[in-house]
Chain A
């Protein structure tokens, strides 16, 4: 049962919480198949989307989700800027909060921005992606998609391939996959796969060994900027070693599924025929994204305060924080 006030990440969520989110999301799927794709449950509620990073797909997904629940949705696309220019994030959020939204969806390039807001404003906060930290709704829709197709969410071997270092999708997925009892492989060049990753999953610098006998292969988008910073010499070279094509996919289990959070760079991290092939769940991911976001909005806006006390934002708060010095 998920009773938290905010959805800031999947780190620290229990198995029961994660599964209940996925179960609830599953029940919302049929609404999108109806003729009248609307239920009145959030009628009169206001959801504000604050997107500091360009994102058509996630933004649209949240907007459709809110509207299908009969909520009013307002989108604010703020230009990416440091807090020294113009209004600070906090002031922007406070101004919005003063207009009494029932939920705030935030995407920001600074890791920790949703946590920062959650401590300071008065409405539920949903993390739509913060820096390289987490993207919880993406991971939830990934898990829902896997379960729909594969039939289970435990004891799977999941290979995540690409720019692990900068990937919030990876971090959210790994938290959830490990909590649910799956094996994670992290695949990529050493420049994008730091030593710390070994504590999170099995590290592979070779695509073929990384996907061998995997049940699920998740490909990450490679951002073109990485070349400029010398993480990679060129996209061509990356693609030669890490692009998922038919031959590489053939090394995974025969019924392995292929996923990608989108948007895909055809030919860079994933070959067209794999992206469009039978094993690909990319379109289902998008469909499930709306259901997941409907479920999250429903649960957070309808949350009963008395039902459960607020759990601290991170379980990993420093033990030194209240330490007696002697």
Chain B
């Protein structure tokens, strides 16, 4: 592979506490030099990062790639393609496939697919319980040897408190975080949106905030006893943020993530029964959005992750009650995150920390920094590029997004994985429209 010089951009590397005008030279798949502008010398390829942020490769630690079993919605290949198009150099994929990823064999299958795709890195997350049934522990050790980076029954909560306790204790042996999908099914089970003024008006069954908060509180209480590491997936309510904040203040090993749709939309996005606003946990109230933003600002929320959940058109184009829950997110995350910097006063280094070094730390994987010698996973972000969300042009197989037609600002200009450009935004054409393409 040839060497790459990224020049003219502003490096934001929270792990090295570096922010400013630096050039980056990539040789043999690693960061060879980070130096002042113009000092790095020549390379086989030069990427002009003028006006751009140059950041450690973004890591989305919560995606659903649907393979094996649901390839009609997405595959490892198309998901990894969507990831690099969105600026992500790595993703961690959940275990609710078919068969469930509760064995070394399925873990290896996923890894093989990702190696063949050779796009974004794909880290499998293994199931906590066999078949995600919430009854028996899965063989976490075997899966760890096969390459999982965390365990989770995500898609479903672990309703059996004794099982959750044992999961925290057992996974600690392998230094794996337990990623918890917090939803008390008895309270939320039949709900299809937030329980609040909009669900009342639309006559839809709601999922109250308490359904999430009760489980967050339970798992934090268990954590106090068990040790181990707890990571709360897709936090969506002010109450949950508050619980995590207080747990951290007590020194507990809990981390938390938020999705871009939860800080960009409220329950009103359901509008007149738009199933592209149906997901679990649901969109909440503006007071919850404010609390999530505050959580990002003060570090209570460590990670931004999309919960990319592709679904086929036939599963969404039905009555609201029957529609599948979830939306895609890899290709719309970046501009929504950048809007926080632009409009909500979030510092860029705080944003990047939540999208690279922090997820790397929770998963225990390499990456998350641009230090000399580190693997060359780099994202070049153009914060000024304007574009319109056209789901038909997604790299993902699925189109289920509430952001169709939105005017976005900010896009990945280049996504580099292991020193190879996996995604490049072409220069603007004569008519001003930027073209996008994948490159190998």
Q: In their complex, do chains A and B touch, with some C-beta pair under 8 Å? A: yes
* Contact across chains for A325 and B319 when beta carbons are under 8 A apart: no
Residues of A within 8 A of B408 (CB): 325-326
Please encode chain A, from 121 to 132, with 1 for each CB lying within 8 Å of some chain B CB and 0 for all others.
000000000111
Q: How many residues of B contact A (CB 8 A)?
A: 38
User: Residues 265-290 of chain B: 1 if any A CB is under 8 Å from the residue's CB, otherwise 0?
Assistant: 11011111110010000000000000
- A112 at the A/B interface (Cβ < 8 Å)? yes
Closest to A165 in B: B200
Q: A325 touches which one: B272, B321, B407 (CB < 8 A)?
A: B407
Q: A196-B197, A326-B343 are in contact. Are A112 and B268 (CB under 8 A)?
A: no
Determine how close the nearest CB of chain A comes to the CB of B348; give it in whole angstroms. Answer: 15
Q: Nearest Cβ distance between residue A175 and chain B, in whole angstroms?
A: 9
Contact with B along A188-210 (1 / 0, CB 8 A): 00000010110110000000000
What's the least CB distance linking B106 to chain A, in Å? 25
A321 pairs with B273, CB closer than 8 A: no
CB distance from A267 to the nearest CB of B (A): 28
Q: Is the interface of A mostly helix, strand, loop or mixed?
A: loop
Give the one of B266, B320, B343, B409 with max A CB within 10 A: B320
B409 touches which one: A83, A113, A168, A325 (CB < 8 A)? Answer: A325
Query: B269 to A131, Cβ gap below 8 A?
Result: no
Q: Which of B19-27, B151-159, B334-342 contacts A (4 or more CB under 8 A)?
A: B334-342
Q: Is B196 an interface residue (CB 8 A)?
A: yes
Query: What string of 1s and 0s marks CB contacts (under 8 Å) between A66-91 and chain B?
Result: 00000000000000001110001110
* B203 at interface by CB-CB < 8 Å: yes
* A317→B270 CA distance, assembly (Å): 8
Confirm or deny: B366 has a beta carbon within 8 angstroms of a beta carbon on chain A. no
By a CB distance below 8 angstroms, the chain B residues around A88 are: 318
Task: Let me know if A318 and B268 touch, CB within 8 A.
Answer: yes
Q: Across the interface, do A90 and B317 meet the contact criterion of CB distance under 8 Å?
A: yes
Interface centre among A110, A171, A322 (most CB of B within 10 A): A110
Q: Are A133 and B202 in contact (CB under 8 A)?
A: yes
Whether B271 contacts A316 by the Cβ 8 Å rule is yes
Verify if A265 is at the interface (C-beta below 8 Å from B): no
Chain A residues with CB below 8 A from B271, complex form: 314, 316-318, 321
Q: Is the CB of A111 within 8 A of B200?
A: no
| Residues in B whose Cβ lies below 8 Å from that of A111 | 202-204, 273, 320-321
Report yes or no: B318 in contact with A325, Cβ–Cβ below 8 A. Answer: no
- How far apart sit A134 and B272, CA to CA, in the bound complex (Å)? 13
**A316 contacts B203, CB within 8 Å?**
no
Q: Complex: how many Å from CA A146 to CA B382? A: 63
Q: Is A320 an interface residue (CB 8 A)?
A: yes
Is B405 interfacial (CB-CB < 8 Å)?
A: yes
B221, CB-defined interface residue at 8 Å = no
Residue of A nearest to B406 (CB): A325
B273 touches A116 (CB 8 A): yes
Q: Say whether, besides A112-B204, A325-B335, A83 and B318 are in contact (CB < 8 Å).
A: yes
* B 297-349 contacts with A by CB, 8 A: 317-322, 335-336, 338-339, 342-343
A132 and B318 within 8 A (CB): no
- A/B pair count, beta carbons within 8 Å: 109
A90 cross-chain contacts in B, Cβ below 8 A = 317-318
Asked if A324 lies at the interface with its beta carbon under 8 angstroms from chain B, I say: yes
- Does A228 make an interface contact (CB < 8 A)? no
Is B321 within 8 A of A110, CB to CB? yes
Quick check: A112 and B339 within 8 Å, CB to CB? no
Interface size class of A (residues with CB under 8 A): 35 or more
Contact (Cβ within 8 A) A320 B268: yes
**Is A323 on the interface with B (CB-CB < 8 A)?**
yes
When distances are taken between beta carbons in the complex, the residues of chain B under 8 Å from A116 are: 273, 318-320
B269 touches A320 (CB 8 A): yes
Closest partner residue, chain B, to A313 (CB atom) = B272
- One digit per residue, 1 when the CB lies within 8 angstroms of any chain B CB and 0 when it does not, for chain A 292-326 equals 00000000000000000000111011111111111
Judge if A53 is at the interface, Cβ distance under 8 Å: no
> In whole Å, how far is B283's beta carbon from the nearest beta carbon of chain A?
10
Cα–Cα, bound, A326→B408 (Å):
7
- When chains A and B are docked, how far (Å) is the Cα of A320 from the Cα of B197? 17
Tell me, yes or no, whether A115 is within 8 Å of chain B by CB: yes
Residues of A within 8 A of B273 (CB): 111-112, 115-116
Name the distance in Å between B208's Cβ and chain A's nearest Cβ. Answer: 10
A28-63 residues with Cβ-Cβ distance < 8 A to B are: none
For chain B residues 189-228, which have a beta carbon within 8 Å of chain A?
195-197, 199-204
**A108 — which chain B residues lie within 8 A by C-beta?**
319
**Complexed CA–CA distance, A88 and B270 (Å):** 22
Chain B 252-273: CB-based contact to A (< 8 A → 1; otherwise 0): 0000000000001110111111
Residue among A108, A318, A319, A324 with max Cβ neighbours from chain B (10 Å): A318
Instruction: State in angstroms the CA–CA spacing of A130 and B321 once bound together.
Output: 11
Q: Is the CB of A110 within 8 A of B319?
A: yes
Q: List chain B residues, Cβ under 8 A from A312.
A: 272
Chain A residues contacting B317 (CB-CB under 8 Å) are: 90
Q: A83-B319, A326-B409 are in contact. Are A133 and B203 (CB under 8 A)?
A: yes
Is there an interface contact between B203 and A171, defined as CB atoms closer than 8 Å?
A: yes
- A318 touching B269, Cβ below 8 Å: yes
For this complex, 11 residue pairs linking A to B, each with C-beta atoms less than 8 Å apart, are A110-B319, A110-B322, A111-B202, A111-B321, A112-B321, A133-B203, A171-B201, A316-B268, A318-B269, A319-B268, A320-B266
List 9 other contacts, CB 8 Å, given A110-B319, A318-B277.
A111-B273, A168-B203, A194-B195, A194-B200, A196-B200, A313-B272, A318-B268, A320-B264, A323-B406
